[in-house]
Amino acid sequence: EITRTLEVIPSKKTPGADTSIVKIVGTNKGTTPLRTVVLQERIPIAYRGPSPEDYPDVVFTPRPQKIEEGSVIVTWLFENVGPQEEVTAGYEVDGVRFSEQDLNSTSSLPSALNAEREKPVEKSDNVQLLLAFTLVLAGATAFYFKYLKA
């Protein structure tokens, strides 16, 4: 299960501006351990490079393993997540006021939970992964037509 929360607070760096804080929590609701959990998020800002250092106004917690080229899709990997255990990732963007609509629009990726289980993947999990992939593809297409094609 994936949950995402948004909190907007006054910026400590820029008077009169805001800081948006996004927290993503993935929970292993199953009864078996997950070897690998992947959380992904499309941050609705312009792409600047493949490294977290390319985003000085963004604080990532923890540091992501990957930022995909051409977009700001951040990837966090977590190993050995036990039953009912949670993993948390997130980011803060200074000087930007995100809304729930920014994060939930078709140009924003839903967070995705992918896992390698100790036992074979159940059919319902395959449907969830297919749905997540379809949403990612739809979001990337919408992002292209909304921001890059214009």
The model carries a pTM of 0.67
pLDDT at residue 86 is higher than 90: yes
pLDDT of residue 127: 56
CA atoms 100, 101, 107, 109: torsion sign? positive
121 confidence band (pLDDT: 50, 70, 90): very low
Mean pLDDT of 57-80: 87
pLDDT digits 0-9 by tens, 2-27: 888 999 999 988 889 999 999 999 99
Q: Of 98, 92, 86, which is closest to residue 61 (Cα–Cα)?
A: 92
One-letter amino acid of 123: K
**DSSP 8-state symbol, 103:** H
Task: Provide the mean pLDDT of the chain.
Answer: 78
